[in-house]
């Protein structure tokens, strides 16, 4: 019985740590057409490097917005990321440049086709299922914290 109590306490501790880690990032609301997105914002080097690593699940309307300090042909990969994701590379005006589908735990690079200021990761297929493609505009990016 004591061993079971320790396991329950450990599981609760891990869950609260995961919830705290997720809650530590600011969340902003973005829209793509009439689709609402709750975007956790990775605006620091450390948060951009960690991204969605080790996340086991993510609600459908939730994603992660990466805010870069300068426009560049940024690339993303999936090291230590068990979720299948799609990434949209976005220019400074909010237009989607290109969208790439990424495999879990892959170190393959997925890059912007021209300089991007942002990248938005969502569950794999989220953009395609909603008819959101290159050229679509995202609104609300001005609410993102400045990159550090």
- At 52 the three-state DSSP class reads coil
Tell me if 6 is assigned to some domain: no
Tell me if 100 is assigned to some domain: yes
Q: What is the CATH number of the domain that holds 60?
A: 2.60.120.1140
Tell me if 7 is assigned to some domain: no
How many separate domains does the chain show?
1
Tell me if 72 is assigned to some domain: yes
- At 85 the three-state DSSP class reads strand
Please, are residues 55 and 83 in contact by the beta-carbon 8 Å criterion? yes
pTM of the complete model: 0.83
Tell me if 122 is assigned to some domain: yes
What range defines the domain where residue 58 resides?
26-143
Query: How does pLDDT run along the chain (148 residues), one tens digit per residue?
Result: 454 544 444 444 444 334 434 448 999 999 999 999 999 999 999 999 999 999 999 999 999 999 999 999 999 999 999 999 999 999 999 999 999 999 999 999 999 999 999 999 999 999 999 999 999 999 999 999 999 8
């Amino acid at each position: 019985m004591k061993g079971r109590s320790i396991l329950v306490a450990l599981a609760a501790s891990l869950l609260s740590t995961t919830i705290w880690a997720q809650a530590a990032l600011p969340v902003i609301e973005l829209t793509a057409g009439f689709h609402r997105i709750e975007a956790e914002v990775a605006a620091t080097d450390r948060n951009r490097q960690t991204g969605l690593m080790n996340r086991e699940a993510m609600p459908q309307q939730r994603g992660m917005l990466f805010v870069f300090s300068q426009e560049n042909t940024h690339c993303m990969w999936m090291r230590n990321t068990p979720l299948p994701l799609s990434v949209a590379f976005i220019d400074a005006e909010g237009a989607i440049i290109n969208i790439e589908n990424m495999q879990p735990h892959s170190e393959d690079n997925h890059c912007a086709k021209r300089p991007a200021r942002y990248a938005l990761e969502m569950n794999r297929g989220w953009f395609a299922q909603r008819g959101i493609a290159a050229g679509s505009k995202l609104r609300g990016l001005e609410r993102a914290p400045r990159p550090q």
